[in-house]
Amino acid sequence: MSPADLIPILLTLAWLAPLAGCVATWVVGKITIERSSKLPAWIAIGAMAISLNLVMIAAGFWWQFAASGQYGLPPASGSPLSGTYYTLGEFGSLNLTLDYYIDSLTILMFGVITLIATAVHVYSVAYIKDGHPDDAVEDHPQPTVPELSPLAAIHDAQPTEYSPQLPRFFAQLQFFTFAMLGLILAGNLLQVFVFWELVGAASYFLIGFHFERPHAAAAATKAFLFNRVGDAGFVIGIVFFLTFFGQLSFGERTVKIGYAGQSVEGTDPGILTANASGIFESRPDEFRKFGWLTTVPEARSSPKRWMFVFAGLCLFAGCVGKSAQLPLSTWLPDAMAGPTPVSALVHSATMVAAGVYLVGRVYPLFLPEVLLVIAYVGAITLVYGATCAVVQTDLKRILAYSTISQLGYMMLAMGVGGREAGLFHLVTHAFFKSLLFLAAGSVIVACHHVQDVSRLGGLRKRMPITAYTSLVGVIAIAGLAIPLIAPFGEAIALSGYHSKDSILAAALSFAKQNPAHGLLFALPLVTAGLTAFYMFRFWLLAFAGEPRDEELHRHVHESSPLMTAPLVLLAIFAAFCAIGGEHGPLFETIAETAVSPSPPLPLSHSADIHGTASLWGLLAATIGAAAALAAYGAGLVDMKRSIAFFGPIRGFFASGWRLDALYRMLFVRPLEFLAFCGSLFDRFVLDGVLHGVSRLTLAVARFDRTFDERVVDGLVNRIAMLTYDTGLSLRQVQSGRLRQYVMALAAAAVVLFALAVVLIPKMT
């Protein structure tokens, strides 16, 4: 069996292994007598280990043989592997199928997801404990509008007693991993949507894992509803593209074609590679200057351009909800109500990156207008997330807003033509952000569920592994590097520098080609400084300096090896996964998945553009890191005075730009007003009519009752009484004396005889 046949089998088994683990974990959890047993957890870890090993084997086959085209496997930069698992139904030319689509990006995403999921599963064995409330996962209410509830009160809240139900937690993690891998492996857009919704459902279960807590249940509901808003547009976009192309498959497929009364088989290119068959036409001249794509799709019925723009925006709407872009971003900070391992896996590395992944996967379907919208949405979102993260004091909320900002970077890169740069940052961000979330969870457990960084400090002495592995993540996300030293052609730096540098280069290239959109480079550049500032602030407040709460610090200790080992593993990947930058294996793997027909070399790859972007990005990150060190490390800034000075704007940022209040004013309150008007209409109109009809019915019923009782019943009763009285009168003649009866008969005979004598003669 050739690798071309083995790779789909291996990835399919890797996809289904978490599903089997989910079922096994749930069943074993139900039949296990001892509730404290960790057997369900180890079953889940075993399933993830199997999945990870299968992916590694498939990756080995792909990169060993793909480049040379041996054993019938196409080159990595050529046609991907695609096929059909099962045909659900055939409706004329429309086939509903379960497909797979495998290229370098598919295998890369499989590796990232299974690796991080395995690390999170191992970490969760120690994090999720059973039985004692002090060992519980943190239970700190996360208010929708933070300034309405003082943070000190939030962090002083004590966890409530609960039973974690370990089997349910691991079963839900397994189900989420299965759904996410299914989304990556899906071979058509409709199949993507199915697993897209399953990922959302799994996220709902995990955010609301502690459903008995009102704030967790509310956060899960909020995340679910916000994603449904975006998914409504996603569905509309799918319908439009189905109308345009007559199919939704990514890869080439075999179809039946009716010709001269006969049915013959032919090939139909997928919606991503249709340009090879002439379905795409050249981009109009007025858009050539953007230079990031050379083709646009043309439907079989030649639809108008605005329809493609509308369809692309609808498809992007689903990505806005899933990847927490403005205006659908406020659900992500509240989603921190879920257990920290959930935040590390779902809300930093995988689910929220699904929107970015989908934009990269269907990139050829977006026209310049749509890409420009994507770029500006990403630019505004990255500023939003960074400004909010600067003033947060909750460990997880800092990282949540940071995630929103980094997702904005990825979307910006996609919009300005840096598809590879956006996907590059997606992978590097997955490693260092999951590392930071797991480090935050380690701190939370060690500090007895205190999440307020203003109460921490000095933890590096008690928790050195957690402190220094998280410092790796901080340096990576900040994008710092050692300048002027490039032994391998790239600066000595961690992964985040290379991926963010690639994004800034793409943005600068776009700004030079389109000066009117220079803001698309200025905003990410300034935000790079803010990112370095708030991430070093995060680390300095938590780990550096002296303890600010001696009683709390006295009981702090390093987490167990089950929690620190995943931190070390993720720190290694966060540091070295992007080695070589745009000339390294990771970037080249992503670049192999380009679907446009041999596009010209992007301007961002030129030495002067790349060098300029690197210099400006490193300068911004250095300034941000230095400012954080001065303010929170060396104490050169009086933070109390600065907080008092920036009080109003700080409150604005702390509340997430008051977006929840705005949404309440724009949507919730109008709906409440409409509900109130509906209540009044129901109470005074509908109820009035119903009550009037009821009263009329009662009046008719009363009249009917009176008529029945006094007329009908009265007549019947009178006849009955007359009959009764007559019976009583006749009763008197029934004496029971025989002589009296004989006399009556004789008298009657005499009377009859007399009548006969009198009447008969007259009759004759």
Most confident among 68-82, 211-225, 637-651 (mean pLDDT): 211-225
pLDDT at 285: 37
Confidence of residue 530 (pLDDT cuts 50, 70, 90): very high
Asked which of 396-405, 418-427, 496-505, 608-617 is least confident by mean pLDDT, the reply is 608-617
**677: Cα separation from own chain's centroid:** 34
- What is the distance in angstroms between the CA of the first residue and the CA of the last residue of the chain? 130
Apex 221 CA angle, 216 and 224, nearest 5: 125
Range 550-561 burial, b when 16+ CB lie within 10 A, else e: eebbeebebbee
Give the integer Cα–Cα distance in Å for 10 and 116.
19
pLDDT digits (tens, 9 = 90+) for 409-451: 999 999 998 899 999 999 999 999 999 999 999 999 888 888 8
Say how many C-beta atoms besides its own lie within 10 A of residue 346's C-beta. Answer: 28
Asked which of 44-53, 64-73, 120-129, 710-719 is least confident by mean pLDDT, the reply is 64-73
Question: Tokens 């550049």 — which residue?
Answer: 525
pLDDT at 293 over 50: no
Among left, alpha and beta (phi > 0; psi -120 to 50; other), residue 580 is left
Residue 149 corresponds to which tokens in the numbers above?
């509830």
Say how many C-beta atoms besides its own lie within 10 A of residue 658's C-beta. Answer: 16
Instruction: Write down the H helix ranges in 274-394.
Output: 305-322, 331-334, 340-344, 354-361, 368-391
121, containing H or E segment: helix 104-127
Residue 657 corresponds to which tokens in the numbers above?
């730009």
Average pLDDT value for residue range 539-561: 85
Q: Mutual orientation of helices 305-322 and 214-245 as an angle, nearest 10°?
A: 160
Q: Give SS3 for 482.
A: strand
Q: Which of 248, 370, 249, 250 is nearest to 307 (CA)?
A: 370
pLDDT at 574 over 90: yes
Q: How would you class 392 by CB atoms within 10 Å of its CB: exposed for 0-12, middle for 13-18, buried for 19 or more? A: buried
Residue 14 corresponds to which tokens in the numbers above?
């890797």
What residues does 394 pair with on adjacent strands?
A: 452
Q: Average per-residue pLDDT in the chain?
A: 82
Contact 538, 398 (CB under 8 A): yes
Of residues 548 and 79, more confidently modeled = 548
* Radius of gyration, alpha carbons of the chain: 38
525, containing H or E segment: helix 519-543
Of residues 733 and 286, more confidently modeled = 733
Apex 265 CA angle, 263 and 270, nearest 5: 130
Give the integer Cα–Cα distance in Å for 300 and 608.
43
pLDDT at 678 over 70: yes
Q: Which of 489, 480, 487, 474 is nearest to 574 (CA)?
A: 474
φ, ψ of residue 730 in degrees (nearest 5): -70, -20
Average pLDDT value for residue range 482-504: 80
Asked which of 278-287, 510-519, 529-538 is least confident by mean pLDDT, the reply is 278-287
Residue 248 corresponds to which tokens in the numbers above?
């939704």
Most confident among 69-78, 129-138, 228-237 (mean pLDDT): 228-237
Asked which of 67-81, 92-106, 235-249, 736-750 is least confident by mean pLDDT, the reply is 67-81
Confidence of residue 158 (pLDDT cuts 50, 70, 90): very low
Question: Tokens 């400006």 — which residue?
Answer: 616
* DSSP-assigned letter for residue 306: H
Average pLDDT value for residue range 582-595: 80
Question: Tokens 């700190």 — which residue?
Answer: 140
pLDDT at 564 over 80: yes
Give the integer Cα–Cα distance in Å for 80 and 99.
13
Give the integer Cα–Cα distance in Å for 598 and 412.
23
Average pLDDT value for residue range 202-220: 89
* DSSP-assigned letter for residue 188: B
Confidence of residue 265 (pLDDT cuts 50, 70, 90): low
pLDDT at 433: 94
Give the integer Cα–Cα distance in Å for 115 and 123.
12
pLDDT at 503: 94
Omega before 327 within 30 of 0, i.e. cis: yes
Of residues 84 and 299, more confidently modeled = 84
Considering the chain, what percentage of its residues have pLDDT values greater than 90?
Answer: 43
pLDDT at 67: 57
Confidence of residue 236 (pLDDT cuts 50, 70, 90): very high
Contact 226, 351 (CB under 8 A): no
pLDDT at 550 over 50: yes
Q: Provide the whole-model pTM.
A: 0.83
pLDDT at 252 over 50: yes
Asked which of 218-232, 295-309, 352-366, 555-569 is least confident by mean pLDDT, the reply is 295-309
Contact 174, 47 (CB under 8 A): yes
Residue 91 corresponds to which tokens in the numbers above?
């409706």
Residue 685 corresponds to which tokens in the numbers above?
């109109």
Average pLDDT value for residue range 155-160: 36
Confidence of residue 243 (pLDDT cuts 50, 70, 90): confident
Average pLDDT value for residue range 83-106: 85
Of residues 169 and 144, more confidently modeled = 169
Confidence of residue 69 (pLDDT cuts 50, 70, 90): low
Contact 464, 558 (CB under 8 A): yes
Considering the chain, what percentage of its residues have pLDDT values greater than 70?
Answer: 82
Q: Which of 378, 325, 357, 385 is nearest to 199 (CA)?
A: 357
Give the integer Cα–Cα distance in Å for 115 and 436.
16
* DSSP-assigned letter for residue 98: E
Contact 395, 451 (CB under 8 A): yes
Q: Look at strands 81-91 and 94-102 and give their pairing.
A: antiparallel
Question: Tokens 């080439």 — which residue?
Answer: 252
Residue 121 corresponds to which tokens in the numbers above?
């599963």
737, containing H or E segment: none
Average pLDDT value for residue range 136-163: 37
Confidence of residue 114 (pLDDT cuts 50, 70, 90): very high
Give the integer Cα–Cα distance in Å for 699 and 718.
27
Residues 6+ apart with CB under 8 A from 262: none
